[in-house]
Amino acid sequence: MKVLQDFDFTQRVSEKAGELDAVVWAESNGWLVRKMQYAGRHSCPDRLFAGYGQLFLIEMKKRGKTPSRDGKLSEGQRLEFERYAAVGVTVHVFYTGEDAIAFLKTKMPAPGLLV
């Protein structure tokens, strides 16, 4: 079988893999993590992270080969996240588990400080 010239051999990382990396790290570092799903509705953020007196809604997207192919919010997600913003809640969108972990680290107290 001949491989087409435009075949792309780059390694793929699934959106789920990055999300689960963040979940495992968070749960190992004092965060309570819950998968979110609406009953009878679409466009729910992926996860709720609770810890250190804070709650965060996080949506994970997959990086594409080029910025124009990066995972984008669906129209329903965009509208739903705007509804959250209208009541003062930010839905944080990350493309890698590492980015989500780095964000969560900034929300934790410095080592040795009490919460």
**So what's the pLDDT on residue 37?**
96
Q: Of all residues in the chain, what percent carry a pLDDT higher than 70?
A: 77
CATH T-level fold of 15-106 = Trna Endonuclease; Chain: A, domain 1 (3.40.1350)
Assigned token pair, 20:
């689960």
pLDDT, tens digit, 9 for 90 and up, residues 16-46: 668 999 999 999 999 999 999 999 999 999 9
14 pLDDT above the threshold of 60:
no
- Under the banding of pLDDT at 50, 70 and 90, the label for residue 111 is confident
Under 8 Å CB-to-CB from 111, ≥6 apart: which residues?
none
Q: Where are the domains of the chain?
A: 15-106
Query: Of 38-47, 64-73, 79-88, 92-101, which range is least confident?
Result: 64-73
Distance CA(50)–CA(57), nearest Å, equals: 9
